Structure 1
């Protein structure tokens, strides 16, 4: 499976690219500039020389040709970026990981995108794709530190069973991560907004919190 990352040069996108490549996914870093994507790949290899990282670089159009595509741009560019490659995304699973947030002084506030969530906006921009929402609560710093597993649950929301199943299959390959089917894409609205609470906790307690849900017997299910 080849996974392309639109906006893969930013903190979240590059950290996810690194983590995916570290477990063997053929990962393609995309950007508006292919040269900038190449710089990011080179930096990741230099930072982790002991890891054989299947990373390659291209522009966003090239990354959109992959089997599965992640939209990792800033939240306010996610829909426009998806629209620019909507033809390439048709029929594919597209993972949206953006959170619509703003920081005012020391307070993080969730915003309400026009369609209720970033993921729903991406689905509207690429209507022939199968969008899932995931990775909203995993800090980029933890994703980008291969010395430690990512101890977190990842909630996956989608209106397409294939997108849910594919996203969960990717998530469960990451050490320490548990993927959970959190329902339809409409549930992405509170999931994305809750990221503001986690950032507030990080600021208040000077740490990096993660989400874990109790009471789930997945093996029993």
Structure 2
């Protein structure tokens, strides 16, 4: 089982993924700028599912204690966060679950990223880490319900085959989900962009659908 740090671990998506991966036996470390907030978030997950292994630390401590690092923060803060922790990210697997979006118009709109995608931005800033991407299209609300099965496919992109395989296994260990090889890291742009479309459709249909390949 892996030690997985989630940067942005106190947000709904981060907590939801932490809950599901902890239920599968992984050790989860929630990272936050505020260590007390991180510990409170970890304790809240233990109340939902007693017995799981979840702890809370500062972002830097979480990264240092982990085998792999998941970035689950708003895109606007990604560049600064990666720069702040570049020294301790090198050599680690970094998983981006970020979908760059703008909500100012009242509906989600995919943002253009100079590097191509949020995942590629991380790789460009920290060449010494291995980056994969996935999990952008999941409902945090469903993830936080431990008995809810989420039927969908998680498209995983990355240039390193072993790291991509591990990330796909993280999808497979969540009931109802299947990890799908989405090719090289550059394809992250397409998957990230789909998130805005899915959110718009879900809002119109009052649903929480995700991607399912038939």
Normalising by structure 2, what TM-score?
Answer: 0.95
User: What's the counterpart of residue 56 of structure 2?
Assistant: 57
RMSD: 1.3
TM-aligned CA deviation for residue 51 of structure 1: 3.2
Within 5 Å, which residues of 2 pair with 1:133-172?
133-172=133-172
Preserved contact between residue 8 and residue 14 of structure 1 (Cα < 8 Å): yes
User: What's the counterpart of residue 97 of structure 1?
Assistant: 97
Preserved contact between residue 130 and residue 160 of structure 1 (Cα < 8 Å): yes
Unaligned runs of 5+ residues in structure 2 are: none
Normalising by structure 1, what TM-score?
Answer: 0.92
Deviations 1:35-70 (A, max 9, x none): 110111122223x1x531100111111111200110
Distance in 2 separating the partners of 1:199 and 1:104: 14
Within 5 Å, which residues of 2 pair with 1:6-25?
6-25=7-26
Within 5 Å, which residues of 2 pair with 1:127-206?
127-206=127-206
TM-aligned CA deviation for residue 106 of structure 1: 4.0
Q: How many residues align?
A: 212
Extract structure 1 runs of 4+ deviating beyond 6 A: none
Q: Are positions 1:27 and 2:28 aligned together?
A: yes
**SS of aligned partner of 1:64:** helix
TM-aligned CA deviation for residue 207 of structure 1: 0.8
Q: Are positions 1:210 and 2:198 aligned together?
A: no
User: What's the counterpart of residue 37 of structure 1?
Assistant: 38
Deviations 1:4-29 (A, max 9, x none): 11111111111111111111110000
Preserved contact between residue 32 and residue 59 of structure 1 (Cα < 8 Å): yes
Distance in 2 separating the partners of 1:89 and 1:173: 25
TM-aligned CA deviation for residue 105 of structure 1: 4.2
